[in-house]
A and B are shown apart, each in its own frame.
Chain A
Amino acid sequence: MRTRLTLLLAGIALAALWSCQDPIDLTLPDGQTRLIVNGSVSDNQPVYADLSWSVNYLSEDPNPAVENATVVLFENGLPVDTLVHVLDGHYEGDFVGDYAQSYHVSVTLPETGDLPFGTWQSSPEAMGRCNPFDSIYSAFVPRAPFVREGYYVYAHWTELAGSGDYYRARLWRNDTLENAPFNIQVFDDGFLDGRSNNDIDLPAIEVAGPDAIGVTYTIEIASIPLGLYSYLQLLREQTLQVGGLFDPPPAPIIGNIFREGDPEDYAIGYFYASARRQASITITE
């Protein structure tokens, strides 16, 4: 809700301006190279982690993969799995997590040239809880002001009673994850603790639309820790709300990966625990 309000405000403001945006040529100096660690453990999928190095912001190449790391998963402080490098910095394990258990990873890199080396650890994160979807359906919506005509996908979902839950929603269209920063959807239960998006208590969740008959959508709602909730909000803000009159100042996006024994020295990225729930539908007439 807060994100929507912010975007609404930014949109209104931009509409009011005589502003113009001109592309310019600019070079940026290379900053400090940092390790990037992203991954998660969930209650229904095997643990994974992706490792790479940061590069110049204007580089047209992908971030270089880190392929020589030792990645170990810990549950409640005890090692439970060692992840194996599969391809291009992607590491996988077999372990599947449980609700309310605490998880973290350690990443150890040998000394190689001028690149950083040593051991980094993620902060322990407890796995939250998440209800499954009640239903998912598609419906035709006629044209109205600011509403385009067509088929829309809706879902009913009930939030678990008890405040302090944080969630992330993701969407696949025909099995392709919509994965740009503007697709980031995170929310907390501050406004809907224990309530239901069932078209009775609250309106149904508008998943997608308008779209064509035959298109398949999969929606996922996953519990996430407070830290990742803040991290993703910041990531979205720092990639989308940039440069304008009312935009926030640039800020470092720091996750939960720190050098072992030194909380001041951080790596980029986030490793988290998550309970994931999915529902799919193909739009029909």
Chain B
Amino acid sequence: MRQITLFLALFGFSAGLFAQSVTVSGTVTEASTGESLPAVVVYVLSDGKPFSASTNPYGFYSLSVPAGKPAEVKVQLIGYADFSQKLGSLTSARKVDISLKESATQLQEVDVVSERLNTNITTTQMSVSALSAKEIKKVPQLLGETDIIRTLTLLPGVSTVGEGASGFNVRGGNADQNLILLDEAPVYNSSHLFGFFSIFNADAVKDVKLFKGGMPANYGGRLSSVLDVRQKEGNSQKFSGTGGIGLLSSRLLLEGPILKDKVNFMVAGRRSYFDLFFPYFNSPELDNTTIYFYDLNLKLNAKLSEKDRVFVSAYFGRDQFGASELFDFGWGNWTSTFRWNRLISPKWFFNATAVYSDYTYQLGTPKDADPAFIWDSRIENYVTNLGWTWYPNAAHTVDFGVQNTAYTFHPGAISGVFSLELQKEYATEPALYISDDWRITDLLTATYGLRYSTFFNVGGRDIQTYLNAANPKANEATGIQTYAPGEIIKSFTGLQGLEPRLALNYKVGAATALKGSYNRSRQYLHLISNNTTATPVNVWRPAGTFIEPATVDQVALGIAHNLQEGGIRLTAEAYYKTFQDLVDYKDGADLIFTEYIETELLRGDGRAYGAEFLVEKKTGDVTGWIGYTLSRTERLVNGATRDTRINNGQWYPANYDKLHDLTVVANWSISKAWEAGGNFAFQSGRPITYPDSRGEFEGMYFPVYTNRNGARTPASHRLDLSFTYTPQSKRAKKWGESSLAFGAYNVYARRNPYSIFFRADFSQPTNVQAYRLSIFGSVIPYFTYNFSF
């Protein structure tokens, strides 16, 4: 006990024991909808001295202030009217729930709380990009379909292999190294239409946060980023709706109270309708062709008491392709989340979350075809999180918790003309975490924490054994080892599971901060994909007998400087990452429906380093940002033998390595009725592989490659424009707000090279032509009618 007291004293936790303080706590919500607002800084001016705390993801805040002093609570947030409430002289804990009203005008004047827009200067968080649904909707989009992930790729450090590619890459990480959470439920495929659109219906999304580094300790399981997407909770004040009719799809969201201020709901749906036009093409083949996606978002939350609140949310989305009796192909995510928030005391907050997540795909013939052939695959998750937040005093906010994810992998099952099933795999990933947000001095703050993750790959399952387990080969299998259900096949419980996290913030004056962070993360799942970009049929496999967990260490340093009271933010960050035990693939690896996948895999390392620069304009009629990234991403696969090496064991650039990445995003409020937006994006060419020579086999010519990613495509650039007209007349607003958005993607019809490849004329095999593949070959216009009531 003495040691614990000493530890607490050392780290300042005991400050509250010796000083007379009282707690001010509560929730911050939006007045018109009742939505809780996360990451809002709440200030309490106590006897003229400011104390501050941020709301947690559920909108709760708590801070300790000196007792017996006159106090005033203040909140200022862009887009909302200032909130201020005098509390008088505080002698005991006070609950202050804050309801922020939307403001039609942007903040103009300077207030006593000079940090009103300077939260980026005071927080330890770095390498984080936060976007609200409102901001995302202002960015010009492909076919007018508001796309969260496409918007994120306009930020420094976030890129894709190319236009139309599935997933995204963060600071040199593979697409499978992003932990994508929708209301805390993991999402395994975030794309519709093979990567052209994301699964997130922006109408149903409240806010989006992307952690590129310096990850808080409560996040784990992926190496490179966390994309935390929170759905709207539903309007607790009145019934309302939002919708849109576009070229690609239409959408509708309804929300409202079931019991005012106690129970409210949100339901949103979206469906594309390419296929509805097929009958007009007068083609019998198209008559029976289906190609569409849809998704459904649902959220219900209930305030059980002043201290208890529960949320139930769900997402169901699906893509479907089919052609008559030829084939049927579908994939989709299903997530459901149950969450319970309890305010244990003004200083203690508790959250319990239970999640079920299921990603599945089917490929084959229609079920009633003769002969039928159906291939099913899926990954199921059961996630439980128990987390506590403790606000011991004004200097500390402590988060700790326990998490577990249970996985069931169904790599594949075939039914129909014959039946075959790859063995299921089972695994569980328990983890503990603790972190402290420590205001060491008025100038220096630190967030330090530790995550300890473990992983158990369990039976029942047969494991193939090999002559050389370090380099398993299909023709060197020696036997089968059988594990009973529940029996541990392989566990990862050592010190390697310790994942330290540290972030420091040092204020240099009121508008400048120096930042630094270090984090280690571990990833126990791998997306088995040997394509340039992932496909919906790629399978996830867990660490086990032959697959090691991957690890990354990242160090980042940065500086943030604000101008015009935070209206303009300048950020520069540099990072260096090293990866260990990445999965790569043997040349020509056969990954589809392969039982013993280990025979196709290689072990590799990686490194990524770069500098990111961001200038954001947050206020005024013209808002937006300019981002620039200078970076390198490389891989090393250097096994003991030739067939376990890539490029002779030398470092080579990853598929998505791009030296320069420049984006300009602007939005101009021309008048109340008109808004204009524009994006410009420039990226260096990505690595590709050219053949060194021509080989031959029995009269067939083929390329001989010896230098993977030894060449590069030309650079890419693109301009997108959008305009939004919102009628202002009373007649137009009779039934609610409406607007017409129109614009164009790739305005000057740039044919950006996705790849350069070679194709032979097979009637004259020596006649080979080089081609440039462009995903978007021309300007793509759009218009969308949006409405709300």
Chain A residues with a Cβ under 8 A of chain B:
1-2, 5-6, 8-9, 12-13, 16-26, 28-34, 36, 38, 50, 52, 54-63, 145-146, 177, 179-182, 184, 190-192, 202-203, 226, 230-235, 237-239, 242-255, 263-264, 266, 268-270
- What are the residues of chain A within 8 A of B402 when measuring CB–CB? none
In the complex the two chains form, is B770's CB within 8 Å of A23's CB?
yes
- What are the residues of chain A within 8 A of B690 when measuring CB–CB? 28, 57
Q: Mark B325-362, 1 if CB is under 8 A from A, else 0.
A: 11101000000000000000000000000000000000
Does B532 lie at the interface of the complex (its beta carbon under 8 Å from any beta carbon of A)?
yes
6 contacts between A and B (CB under 8 A): A19-B164, A24-B771, A30-B692, A57-B692, A233-B588, A238-B703
CB of A22, distance to nearest CB on chain B (Å): 5
A243 in contact with B285 given A12-B327, A248-B530, A253-B702 (CB within 8 Å): no
A145 in contact with B418 given A226-B474, A243-B757 (CB within 8 Å): no
Q: Of A38, A182, A191, which one neighbours B696 at CB under 8 angstroms?
A: A38
In the complex the two chains form, is B475's CB within 8 Å of A226's CB?
yes
- What are the residues of chain A within 8 A of B762 when measuring CB–CB? 180-182
In the complex the two chains form, is B698's CB within 8 Å of A230's CB?
no
Bound CA span A233–B474, Å: 16
A sample of 10 more A-B contacts (CB under 8 A), given A237-B588, A250-B708, A253-B695, is: A34-B693, A59-B766, A63-B695, A191-B418, A246-B531, A246-B532, A250-B688, A251-B588, A253-B705, A264-B642
CB of A196, distance to nearest CB on chain B (Å): 13
Bound CA span A19–B164, Å: 10
CB of A246, distance to nearest CB on chain B (Å): 5
Residue of A nearest to B777 (CB): A20
Q: How many residues of B contact A (CB 8 A)?
A: 89
In the complex the two chains form, is A245's CB within 8 Å of B696's CB?
no
Bound CA span A36–B695, Å: 7
- What are the residues of chain A within 8 A of B703 when measuring CB–CB? 57, 238-239, 250
Does B769 lie at the interface of the complex (its beta carbon under 8 Å from any beta carbon of A)?
yes
In the complex the two chains form, is B691's CB within 8 Å of A57's CB?
yes
CB of A42, distance to nearest CB on chain B (Å): 13
CB of A260, distance to nearest CB on chain B (Å): 16
In the complex the two chains form, is A243's CB within 8 Å of B755's CB?
yes
A8 in contact with B288 given A2-B593, A13-B194 (CB within 8 Å): no
Interface of chain B residues 524 through 547 with chain A (CB within 8 A):
530-533, 535, 537
CB of A114, distance to nearest CB on chain B (Å): 15
Bound CA span A247–B530, Å: 8
Q: Mark B731-763, 1 if CB is under 8 A from A, else 0.
A: 000000000000000000001001111111010
In the complex the two chains form, is A145's CB within 8 Å of B285's CB?
yes
Does B587 lie at the interface of the complex (its beta carbon under 8 Å from any beta carbon of A)?
yes
Chain A interface, >50% SS class: loop
In the complex the two chains form, is A254's CB within 8 Å of B693's CB?
no
Residue of A nearest to B690 (CB): A28
In the complex the two chains form, is A63's CB within 8 Å of B694's CB?
yes
Bound CA span A173–B165, Å: 41
Q: Mark B667-702, 1 if CB is under 8 A from A, else 0.
A: 000000000000000000000111111111111111
Does B104 lie at the interface of the complex (its beta carbon under 8 Å from any beta carbon of A)?
no
Bound CA span A145–B699, Å: 35
In the complex the two chains form, is A145's CB within 8 Å of B773's CB?
no
In the complex the two chains form, is B535's CB within 8 Å of A9's CB?
yes
Bound CA span A62–B768, Å: 12
In the complex the two chains form, is A52's CB within 8 Å of B771's CB?
no
In the complex the two chains form, is A20's CB within 8 Å of B774's CB?
yes
Does B321 lie at the interface of the complex (its beta carbon under 8 Å from any beta carbon of A)?
yes
Bound CA span A237–B592, Å: 13
Residue of A nearest to B326 (CB): A146
Bound CA span A63–B44, Å: 81
- What are the residues of chain A within 8 A of B417 when measuring CB–CB? 202-203
A57 in contact with B768 given A203-B371, A248-B531 (CB within 8 Å): yes
In the complex the two chains form, is A146's CB within 8 Å of B325's CB?
yes
Q: Of B327, B695, B757, B775, which one neighbours A268 at CB under 8 angstroms?
A: B695
In the complex the two chains form, is B588's CB within 8 Å of A253's CB?
yes
Does B56 lie at the interface of the complex (its beta carbon under 8 Å from any beta carbon of A)?
no
Does B776 lie at the interface of the complex (its beta carbon under 8 Å from any beta carbon of A)?
yes
Interface centre among B475, B530, B691 (most CB of A within 10 A): B691
In the complex the two chains form, is B533's CB within 8 Å of A246's CB?
yes
In the complex the two chains form, is B708's CB within 8 Å of A57's CB?
no
- What are the residues of chain A within 8 A of B589 when measuring CB–CB? 248
A18 in contact with B775 given A26-B756, A145-B325 (CB within 8 Å): yes
CB of A272, distance to nearest CB on chain B (Å): 11
Bound CA span A6–B591, Å: 10
Q: Give me the 8 closest cross-chain CB pairs, A-B, nearest first.
A: A31-B692, A243-B757, A20-B777, A234-B588, A251-B587, A180-B762, A250-B689, A26-B770
A19 in contact with B773 given A30-B693, A233-B588 (CB within 8 Å): yes
A243 in contact with B773 given A8-B363, A263-B642 (CB within 8 Å): yes
Residue of A nearest to B709 (CB): A249
In the complex the two chains form, is A63's CB within 8 Å of B696's CB?
yes
In the complex the two chains form, is B697's CB within 8 Å of A38's CB?
yes
CB of A225, distance to nearest CB on chain B (Å): 9
- What are the residues of chain B within 8 A of A230 when measuring CB–CB? 588, 590
Does B509 lie at the interface of the complex (its beta carbon under 8 Å from any beta carbon of A)?
no
Q: Of A237, A253, A270, which one neighbours B704 at CB under 8 angstroms?
A: A253
Does B400 lie at the interface of the complex (its beta carbon under 8 Å from any beta carbon of A)?
no
Bound CA span A266–B329, Å: 41
A38 in contact with B692 given A8-B363, A239-B760 (CB within 8 Å): no
Bound CA span A54–B694, Å: 5
In the complex the two chains form, is B692's CB within 8 Å of A32's CB?
yes
In the complex the two chains form, is A242's CB within 8 Å of B702's CB?
no
- What are the residues of chain B within 8 A of A57 when measuring CB–CB? 690-694, 703-704, 758, 768
In the complex the two chains form, is A245's CB within 8 Å of B164's CB?
yes
Interface centre among B530, B701, B760 (most CB of A within 10 A): B701
Residue of A nearest to B161 (CB): A245
CB of B196, distance to nearest CB on chain A (Å): 8
Does B772 lie at the interface of the complex (its beta carbon under 8 Å from any beta carbon of A)?
yes
Bound CA span A233–B587, Å: 11
Does B291 lie at the interface of the complex (its beta carbon under 8 Å from any beta carbon of A)?
yes
